[in-house]
Amino acid sequence: MHSICISCKGRGLCGQPCEILAKFQRHAPRPRIHFSGSSPPEIFVGRIGYPFINSGILSPSNQDTNLHGEQTSVLSSPEQWVSENLSIDQILEMRGQLIYGRGQSHIKSTAANNNLKQITQELALSSKPVSTEVFLKKAPIMNFTASKYFHIITNPAPIHRAILEENPYVEQKVDYLTTDYDVKSTTALQELYKTGKITTTHLQKLLSSGLLGVKAARRMVPTRWSITAVDDTLGKQLLEKIRYYQELNQIQLFHHYYNGNHFEVLLLPEKFTFEVIEVSMQGSNWNEEIKASGDVFMQDYEGFFPRKTYATHVVGAYYTDRLAVAEYLEKIKRQATVFLCHEERQEYYAPLGVGIIRESLRKMFSDPKAVEYPDSIEQALIMMGQRLKAPFSRYKKMSWVLENYGKQKKIWEFV
């Protein structure tokens, strides 16, 4: 990928055909200002111009897609993408069918005075696709917004209004907590997460649309921020318990690969500490923060006590990684020192959002074939180095976990 790709967005500034835009064009919707379709459901809240932001809904047109009714849920579900092992090409072709009807509003505008916000919130409540009639001011343009944080957003157009053609399917617990104006958003997220019925993607939509929290604090949250907020909140809540569990009694090494993303996760018997080293390899996923050529190494970590600053290098993916690891540790009722390596390789040519990272790790931790039990940390590191493509010597040199593992003395060693 060229560094110009971020600003180009398919306009051909590099003088070459756009590989991503070509995938969208195969299933692009016909230009029209009035259509009906089954929204996955999906919403998007931008951050540019905050607190006056662009927000809206995404839906395919029934006349331009072979997916109808509940089938359209796959258009915006990283949970399904990973479980069904869909390729980047398949995901891009599906994303290209969606039309993003958007409008500008203030983050604290009320749904009573804003048709778009009302529809956005009703769609965010639903656990299933909702048939939606959309009226646009102008026909959508062939364009897209890409980010490593969220799904690619395609075919934007200014929206006039929208009408739901059926009632959204709302889980009872969702209905209860979104209408309770005295419950904090962190508490509501925890309660919804514990039901096991609400996906993480759905929780992010509820927070982004301004449906959670005490009444005075409710506001729309940019999608990029809400994704990180949900992953961070859920991970912290799990770790409050995990730090009191017994230590892991053997070394465990997990590995997984999906669409150019390779993961190695080493769990060591010790108190909880967590480190992520992420490598964007040359020719891989777009990354707005990377201006250099060649492989770029990024690192963030935390010790036994919770970190108090934002993970400025790995950024949102750090909290996504930590949540998936915390879920596994909670499942086995153990704590461990965690060393996670993530390579974005050349075949990961289009960003699909951090959702595929979270779901890939969840799939890995539930797969008995993905785990090995090395006899020593030295053997584990050799096995990791054989599968990773970036120079493993660089991983070892910069790793905070490997440098400090085993150096902290136990209290009984002083007796």
What would the pLDDT profile of 190-211 be if each residue is shown by its tens digit? 999 999 999 999 999 999 999 9
Q: Using CA atoms, how far apart are residues 131 and 27, in angstroms rounded to an integer? A: 20
Quick check: 15 pLDDT over 70? no
Please state the φ and ψ torsions of residue 385, each to the nearest 5 degrees: -60, -30
Query: Which is it for the CA torsion 175, 179, 180, 186, positive or negative?
Result: positive
Reported as type and span, the H/E element at residue 153 is strand 153-154
Q: Which of 197, 223, 162 is nearest to 39 (CA)?
A: 162
Q: Find the mean pLDDT for residues 227-249.
A: 97
Quick check: 218 pLDDT over 80? yes
Quick check: 405 pLDDT over 70? yes
More confident: 378 or 65 = 378
The predicted pLDDT at position 111 comes to: 78
The predicted pLDDT at position 144 comes to: 86
In this structure, are residues 267 and 372 in contact, taking their beta carbons and an 8 Å threshold? no
Quick check: 26 pLDDT over 80? no
Q: Find the mean pLDDT for residues 212-219.
A: 96
Q: Using CA atoms, how far apart are residues 10 and 217, in angstroms rounded to an integer? A: 39
Q: Please report which confidence band the pLDDT of residue 113 belongs to, taking 50, 70 and 90 as the band edges.
A: confident
Quick check: 49 pLDDT over 70? yes
Quick check: 183 pLDDT over 90? yes
The predicted pLDDT at position 412 comes to: 41
Q: Please report which confidence band the pLDDT of residue 37 belongs to, taking 50, 70 and 90 as the band edges.
A: very high
Q: Using CA atoms, how far apart are residues 187 and 362, in angstroms rounded to an integer? A: 23
Q: Using CA atoms, how far apart are residues 390 and 234, in angstroms rounded to an integer? A: 31
pTM for this predicted structure: 0.93
Q: Using CA atoms, how far apart are residues 367 and 139, in angstroms rounded to an integer? A: 45
Q: Please report which confidence band the pLDDT of residue 349 belongs to, taking 50, 70 and 90 as the band edges.
A: confident
Give percent above pLDDT 90 in the chain.
77
The per-residue b/e assignment along 369-408, b for 16 or more CB within 10 angstroms, e otherwise, is: ebeeebeebeebbebbbeebebebeebeeebbbbeebeee
Q: Find the mean pLDDT for residues 278-285.
A: 82
Quick check: 402 pLDDT over 90? yes
Q: Which of 106, 120, 113 is nearest to 44 (CA)?
A: 120
Mean pLDDT, the chain, integer: 91
Q: Which amino acid is at 201?
A: T
With 0-12 CB in 10 A as exposed, 13-18 as middle and 19+ as buried, what is 295? middle
> Where is average pLDDT lowest: 26-35, 173-182, 211-220?
26-35
pLDDT digits (tens, 9 = 90+) for 358-377: 999 999 999 999 999 999 99
User: And the tokens for 81?
Assistant: 């993408």
Q: Using CA atoms, how far apart are residues 121 and 220, in angstroms rounded to an integer? A: 10
Q: Please report which confidence band the pLDDT of residue 414 belongs to, taking 50, 70 and 90 as the band edges.
A: very low
The predicted pLDDT at position 22 comes to: 78
pLDDT digits (tens, 9 = 90+) for 152-182: 999 999 999 999 999 999 999 999 999 999 9
The residues facing 280 across adjacent strands are: 296, 344
The predicted pLDDT at position 413 comes to: 45
pLDDT digits (tens, 9 = 90+) for 287-337: 444 555 688 999 999 999 999 999 999 999 999 999 999 999 999 999 999
Q: How far is CA 410 from the centre of its chain?
A: 38
Q: Using CA atoms, how far apart are residues 241 and 250, in angstroms rounded to an integer? A: 20
Query: Ramachandran region of residue 9, left (φ > 0), alpha (ψ -120 to 50) or beta?
Result: left
The predicted pLDDT at position 287 comes to: 46
Q: Using CA atoms, how far apart are residues 134 and 234, in angstroms rounded to an integer? A: 35
The predicted pLDDT at position 10 comes to: 59
